Amino acid sequence: MDAPIAIGISACLFGQKTRYDGGHRLEQGLLDLLAGKVVLVPLCPEAECGLGIPREPMRLEGDSENPQLMTIASHCDLSEQMRGWIDQRLDRLAGEAVGGLILKARSPSCGKQVAVHGTGGAAFSPGLFVRACQQRFPGLPIADEEELRDPDRLADFLKRVANHAKNTQENQR
């Protein structure tokens, strides 16, 4: 029997209190649907890169092709700290044979489409972690919890995860 496929998941969706306000965004329904089908590997870019819990809220600012991670009130640029962690985490992620990612929608690190402020217009970008994952692992299925609330989209995501895992295993032979 094949080992279950590992999927990375935002720790706050897993119920861990890692959000800026010290809370979580537990997606129990999603976790119940995934139980027994995959192994979930919680991760939190902000907490794991040392930003603390709770912490000042952040957002993306500047150029949508290379946004900066800025705290909202104190306007502190945390981009380099986050990018340093991302480089290390992606190396570990490669070794964990993760078949996909389920990440927090609209997060400045994990969101697939996040507003970028200060551009003078409506601009969007993937969060810093998502952008780096897409660049390093172009075929890796990435979804957010909002899209996976739709049963058809969840089924499609799990098919893409299974195909990605199968292709990865075949390429390693």
The backbone region for 53, taken as left when phi is positive above 0, alpha when psi lies in -120 to 50, beta otherwise, is: beta
Tokens read off for 111 = 């969101």
Tell me if the pTM is above 0.85.
yes
Domain boundaries, the chain: 5-55+79-108+127-172
Residue 132: count other Cβ atoms within 10 Å of its Cβ.
20
Span 60-114, pLDDT tens digits: 999 999 999 999 999 999 999 999 999 999 998 888 888 999 999 999 999 999 9
Q: Give the whole-angstrom CA distance, residue 101 versus residue 134.
A: 11
CB 56 within 8 A of CB 20: yes
- The per-residue pLDDT for 1 is 42
User: Predicted confidence band at 144 (pLDDT cuts at 50, 70, 90)?
Assistant: very high
- pLDDT beyond 70 at 123: yes
* Higher per-residue confidence, 165 vs 126: 126
Span 13-42, pLDDT tens digits: 999 999 999 999 999 999 999 999 999 999
| DSSP of the chain | -PPPEEEEEETTTTT-S-STTS-----HHHHHHHTTTEEEEEE-HHHHTT--SS---EEEES-TTS-EEEESSS--B-HHHHHHHHHHHHHHHHHTTEEEEEE-TT-TTT-SSEEEESSSS-EEE--HHHHHHHHHSTT--EEETTGGGSHHHHHHHHHHHHHHHHHHHHHH-
